[in-house]
Amino acid sequence: MKEIYLDNNATTKVDEAVFEEMRPYFCELYGNPSSMHFFGGQVQGKVTEARQRVAALLGASPEEIIFTACGTESDNAAIRSALEVFPDRRHVITSRVEHPAVLTQCRNLTQKGYRVTEIGVDGAGRLDMDELKAAVDTDTAMVSLMWANNETGVIFPVEEAAAIAKSKGALFHSDAVQAIGKIPINMADSGIDMLSLSGHKLHAPKGIGVLYLRRGTPFRPFLVGGHQEKSRRAGTENAAAIIALGKACQLADQYMEAENTTVMAMRDRLQDALMAAIPNARINGGGAERLPNTTSIAFEFVEGEAILLLLSELGICASSGSACTSGSLEPSHVLRAMGVPFTCAHGSIRFSLSRYTTDAEIDTVIREMPPIIARLRQMSPFGREFLKGQA
């Protein structure tokens, strides 16, 4: 069965050109970039090139790029560093809708005596900027806010938030894992101190991430050991993956326009058609500025896992903000924070597209989705009551 892959916020296909770029660095050019000999040196040359390519996509300079193993490591390193740099500041601010990579760490900090404020969002998923302004004080070591939400695609005004953090001397970090490659980012013209990126969200392989660290920002490394990454992240470089990420960033720059035109048009067509064909549905975060590739739609009276598995039977891969898929029993913390009613939070489905998505695939989903929802509603006691009311 050929898959229709609309789960690109979970992970993406490695671009063939990216794979070709990294291929020689396993069996042939396997040298250690730190070695003194020519064999390691040629790998180092490619790592340097990759660093430049990543920096170019971010509008950063190469020495501001620290390669890590994943987005989660970058997030952890950023927050820990801020706390070590400012031992007297005992307050951290984040949002209620952050990715667990940030949220779990912040919640753990409360057990270590830190004060943690989680800023709320409105019904459309927009950050409460007044709450943020009121929360930042001179005790705040770090404000960490995601650039764009993984579940809804809602974009936060991170530059404005960074300015608020700065006004009290706090460091500002943004988990930009979902945003990079989908919307333009320019760190040269930014007040953000640290930024996390994950390779596998933009057609590079899994196991490679970046922590952007603004020049002059005080920093304490998370991993200590060798002198790699200017002693800011010890451990032998994952050279092949770094080289792959460089290529992926170069391609992301080339495809940025398509992402915001072609991909966005397909996303809009998909959500408009589903909203027109299926009653009692709502777009989570529909009223906010969102990533061009993401839509999260809540269907009343049905449960997400059942929808996903029926889609999966047809080869369609999507994701759900619902309880039963993740092993937890609550609807996602993001949808709850937005106040999405329980009646439809359990039936929320996220479609996340990529530059590989085709119009034909969107047509298939538009055709297959309404009967799936109808079938499950027919089976659901609440759906039947609803259908009866409509007749």
In the complex with other proteins, the residue whose CB is nearer, 175 or 303, is 303
Residue among 39 and 382 whose Cβ is closer to other proteins:
382
Give the closest residue to 155 by CA, choosing from 198, 177, 126, 180.
Answer: 126
Positive/negative CA dihedral, 330, 335, 338, 339: negative
Neighbour order of strands in the sheet with 209-213: 65-68, 209-213, 194-198, 171-175, 140-144, 91-95, 115-119
**Per-residue binding letters, 310-329, with other proteins (x by CB under 8 A):** x--x--------xxxx-xxx
Which helix (H) or strand (E) element contains residue 349? strand 348-352
Cβ-based nearer residue to other proteins, 220 or 384 = 384
* Options 109-117, 149-157, 252-260, 296-304: segment touching other proteins (CB under 8 A): 296-304
Tell which positions 190-209 bind other proteins, by CB under 8 A.
Answer: none
Nearest distance from C-beta of residue 84 to other proteins, angstroms: 28
Strand 171-175, strand 194-198: pairing: parallel
Q: Binding residue for other proteins (CB under 8 A) from 26, 30, 39, 342?
A: 342
Residue 135 corresponds to which tokens in the numbers above? 């929360």
In a 3-state reduction of DSSP, which class is residue 297? strand
Query: Cα separation of 242 and 49, whole Å?
Result: 10
Please say which residue, 178 or 322, places its beta carbon nearer to other proteins: 322
Q: Assess 346 for contact with other proteins (CB under 8 A).
A: yes
Cβ atoms within 10 Å of 330's Cβ, excluding its own: 13
Contacts of 160 (CB under 8 A, 6+ apart): 129
Clarify whether 324 is annotated catalytic. Answer: yes
Binding segment for other proteins (CB under 8 A), chosen from 3-11, 146-154, 238-246, 376-384, is: 376-384
Cβ nearer to other proteins, comparing 261 with 328: 328
Of 173-192, binders to other proteins (CB under 8 A) are none
Rounded least distance, CB 382 to other proteins, Å? 6
Q: Is 382 in the site for other proteins (CB under 8 A)?
A: yes
Question: What x-and-dash track marks residues 63-82 binding other proteins by CB under 8 A?
Answer: --------------------
Closest CA to 149 of 173, 123, 175: 175
Smallest gap from Cβ 296 to other proteins, in A, equals 17
| CB 34 to other proteins: min, Å | 40
Q: Cα dist. 57→37, 159, 188, 389 in Å?
A: 31, 18, 11, 53
**Shortest separation between residue 93's beta carbon and other proteins, angstroms:** 23
Q: Please tell me whether residue 302 binds other proteins under the rule CB under 8 A.
A: yes
Q: Longest C-alpha distance within the chain, in Å?
A: 78
Residue type, 26: F
Q: How far is the CB of 336 from other proteins (least distance, A)?
A: 10
Residues belonging to the active site: 324
Q: What is the binding site for other proteins (CB under 8 A)?
A: 301-306, 309-310, 313, 322-325, 327-331, 342-343, 346, 378-384
